[in-house]
Amino acid sequence: MKAHTGTNFDKIPLPIHSLSNISMVHSSRTQPQVHKDRRDYHNLRNMLPFLWEYRGRALLALGCLVLAKLANVGIPLVLKEIVDALDKGDETLLVLPLFLLLGYGALRLSSSLFNELRDAIFARVRYRAMRNLSNRVLAHLHELSLRFHLQRQTGAISRDLERGTRSVSTIFNYLVFSIIPMVVEFGLVAVIMLSQYEVIFTLITFGTVAVYVAFTLAITEWRMEFRHTMNRLDSQANNQAFDSLINYETVKYFGNEPLELRRFDETLSRWEDNAVKSQTSMSLLNFGQGGITAIGVTFIMLLAANSVVKGSTSIGDLVLVNAFMLQLFIPLNFLGMVYRQIKYSLADMDLIFKLLEEHAEITDAKDAKQLQLVAGEVRFEQVDFHYQPEREILHKVDFTIAAGEKLAVVGHSGAGKSTLSRLLFRFYDVTDGRIKIDGQDLRQVTRSSLRSAIGIVPQDTVLFNDTILYNLAYGRPDASHEDIEEAARIAHIAEFIEQLPDGYRTVVGERGLKLSGGEKQRVAIARAMLKRPLILVFDEATSSLDTKTEQAIQETLGEVAKQHTTLVIAHRLSTVVDADRILVMEGGRIMEQGKHHELLEMGGLYHQMWQLQQKERQALEMITTTDSVT
């Protein structure tokens, strides 16, 4: 008899695959064995809310399941009556078997019909659960703090998410298409056998089942360590491959292709060893399951045949018992694989639910309000901050950016300049002190309203692997094409775009690799302008531009800054000479402040930096002049 196994869900396309280009932390962690069963129960309970939206469909599918199993169990009963009727050989031979044969066919048709109805009805439940889980995971990833994403390992967690989402689909399918049908069928068969046959038949049948299940549990638990190790190494190898490809240019600069391949192969070698152990132990499990099944069936058939010989049961009873055994042990053989897959799926699912349990470090306060913008004044009040307690980044930083003022912050690398912009965006909360906009503490307003008020051009511009139009419009997705073109003109990139064969429809490549550093920077400036924020932050905004383009954009930024409260973070002092005020930072402290000429007159740190950069610039100009003459 053919066991109905339901949909081939191993080939289901997963919506979570869209996350494969997101760099995230590999969250697989080994749980202590004592907590394992508790974690499995916890994860199964967390999975149930994803069924709630279509609970009516789920119940209807279960109803079809019960009807299918009633029809399935009825088939051997009708078959027994057919055999007994044929064995009598009387005048009813031409009437009764025909009626029973029609009933036999109707039951088989009903079993198939209700099984397929169950599959069709439950499909919406399963796919919607996968969709909702995928959306929830992506939303949660966006909620997690910058600290989480700075610790990410590219590619590893995308594999975990893929396996985790598939595991939810797998468990749904096995529960509805395998586990629950098996339990229902076992219950119906037990009732029939206990009511019509000696208890020994039931004891042997379900004793065999108990031994089979116990053996499967014991061997599978032993094998699980191999699977866990395989998962960990698979994610690690995937992460190494992604990392080497994203850092393609660095690999080429140092000629370290053999190193990357060796590192990748060493991980795959350990994965291979565990995969072989997993497969060989599976062979042992399959052989043991087959042996237990064969012994149980043999005992049952000997007992039934002996009863027929003694005349206590009919040939139809022998056929009935044999049919029941076939119906029970065919799915029971499948149960071994089901149990293994459920255990593997629970392990995979644990990864995705652990990710959902990651703490969102920065959240809105319960009574958070929308930021009420008045003029755009920014105030840092005695701000202390550290990423780790043992390493303080900012020390009592105190300054105000008046509405419409252009404030520049300069200093050597590691002075804490870029940390100011991260705190202003509330990617982190201050360790001590306060940051205010128009008198409102950033921790008391919603993050969405805060970030909508600020536009930033970061030092390291990363673009989406999409068109230039998409990347420009990201600053304001509802902007008109005319507004986008205007922003491109402000950033002095419109002419470049129009010269491209596909214009604004040109795809920029992963992380914008098809564009030069300067071109990416100008796209970032354009989308910041398109956002139309009241507060602007330029974090080394022109660091990747050539001198001519830098001067053109500096003029534009100067015009834009007149209408905005502007924070300029810069290393190159020549880009901030027109600032209303300049703060000089060193070691996380404000050492000097004033206008450009005032700071030069002080003869302090700013003066030293200016002299050093002027010498570097003169040296570069001499080299350029020499090269042009040559």
> What's the pLDDT tens digit per position in 116-129?
888 888 888 888 88
Q: How far apart are CA 487 and CA 525, in angstroms?
A: 8
> Does residue 11 carry a pLDDT above 90?
no
pLDDT of residue 166: 79
pLDDT of residue 158: 72
User: Binning pLDDT at 50, 70 and 90, where does residue 18 land?
Assistant: very low
Q: Is residue 407 within 8 Å of 569, Cβ to Cβ?
A: no
The stretch 374-398 carries a mean pLDDT of 91
**3-class DSSP state of 211:** helix
pLDDT of residue 96: 57
Q: Is residue 583 within 8 Å of 567, Cβ to Cβ?
A: no
pLDDT: which is higher, 13 or 416:
416
pLDDT of residue 383: 95
User: Binning pLDDT at 50, 70 and 90, where does residue 468 land?
Assistant: very high
Q: Is residue 148 within 8 Å of 101, Cβ to Cβ?
A: no
pLDDT of residue 266: 93
> Does residue 13 carry a pLDDT above 50?
no
Greatest mean pLDDT among 36-45, 282-291, 382-391: 382-391
Amino acid found at 357: E
Which of 531, 534, 529, 480 lies closest to 504, judged by CA? Answer: 480
pLDDT of residue 29: 38
> Does residue 43 carry a pLDDT above 80?
no
pLDDT of residue 630: 54
> Does residue 408 carry a pLDDT above 90?
yes
Sort residue 486 into left (φ over 0), alpha (ψ -120 to 50) or beta. Answer: alpha
Least confident span in 89-103, 138-152, 510-524, 570-584: 89-103
CB atoms under 10 Å from CB of 230, counted, come to 19
**CB-count burial class (<10 Å; 0-12, 13-18, 19+) for 237:** buried
Annotate 221-259 with DSSP letters as a single string: HHHHHHHHHHHHHHHHHHHHHHHHHHTHHHHHHHT-HHH
Q: How far apart are CA 341 and CA 174, in angstroms?
A: 9
The stretch 351-371 carries a mean pLDDT of 85
pLDDT of residue 87: 67
Q: For residue 568, what is the enclosing H or E element?
A: strand 565-570
Q: Is residue 455 within 8 Å of 373, Cβ to Cβ?
A: no
For the stretch 217-262, pLDDT in tens is 788 778 878 887 888 898 889 888 988 888 888 888 888 899 999 9
> Does residue 461 carry a pLDDT above 70?
yes
Q: How far apart are CA 13 and CA 188, in angstroms?
A: 36
CB atoms under 10 Å from CB of 337, counted, come to 17
Q: How far apart are CA 73 and CA 482, in angstroms?
A: 70
Nearest-10 Cα torsion for 232, 238, 241, 247: -90
Least confident span in 437-441, 556-560, 609-613: 556-560
Q: Which two tokens stand for residue 400?
A: 């105000």
pLDDT of residue 220: 77
pLDDT of residue 333: 66
Least confident span in 199-203, 333-337, 342-346: 333-337
The stretch 482-489 carries a mean pLDDT of 91
Least confident span in 34-48, 214-228, 390-404: 34-48
pLDDT of residue 549: 66
Which of 106, 107, 87 lies closest to 97, judged by CA? Answer: 87
- Provide the pairing of β-strand 535-539 with 391-401: unpaired
> Does residue 17 carry a pLDDT above 60?
no
What percentage of the chain has pLDDT greater than the value 70? Answer: 86
pLDDT of residue 605: 93
Greatest mean pLDDT among 103-117, 157-171, 257-271: 257-271
The stretch 424-446 carries a mean pLDDT of 94
Q: How far apart are CA 226 and CA 41, in angstroms?
A: 22
pLDDT of residue 73: 82
Q: How far apart are CA 158 and CA 154, in angstroms?
A: 8
pLDDT of residue 33: 42
User: Binning pLDDT at 50, 70 and 90, where does residue 16 land?
Assistant: very low
What domains, with CATH codes, occur in the chain? 46-355 (1.20.1560.10), 378-453+533-629 (3.40.50.300), 464-522 (no CATH)
Q: Which two tokens stand for residue 196?
A: 């019509």
pLDDT of residue 592: 94
The stretch 93-113 carries a mean pLDDT of 76
pLDDT: which is higher, 287 or 591:
591
Q: Exposure pattern of 210-226 as b/e (b: 16+ CB <10 Å)?
A: eebbebbeebbeebbeb
- Write the CB contacts of 324 (distance below 8 Å, at least 6 apart in sequence): 76, 189, 192, 193, 205
Query: What is the side-by-side order of every strand in the sheet holding 565-570?
Result: 454-457, 535-539, 565-570, 406-411, 581-586, 589-594
pLDDT: which is higher, 444 or 20:
444
The stretch 150-168 carries a mean pLDDT of 70
Q: How far apart are CA 183 and CA 338, in angstroms?
A: 13
Q: How far apart are CA 147 and CA 468, in angstroms?
A: 29
pLDDT of residue 410: 94
**Average model confidence (pLDDT) across the chain:** 80
Amino acid found at 51: L
For the stretch 57-68, pLDDT in tens is 888 888 888 888
Nearest-10 Cα torsion for 483, 489, 495, 501: -30
Instruction: Tally the C-alpha atoms within 13 A of residue 524's C-alpha that lie toward its C-beta.
Output: 27
> Does residue 19 carry a pLDDT above 60?
no
The stretch 511-534 carries a mean pLDDT of 84
Q: Which two tokens stand for residue 279?
A: 């497969």
Q: For residue 401, what is the enclosing H or E element?
A: strand 391-401
> Does residue 620 carry a pLDDT above 70?
no
User: Binning pLDDT at 50, 70 and 90, where does residue 34 land?
Assistant: very low
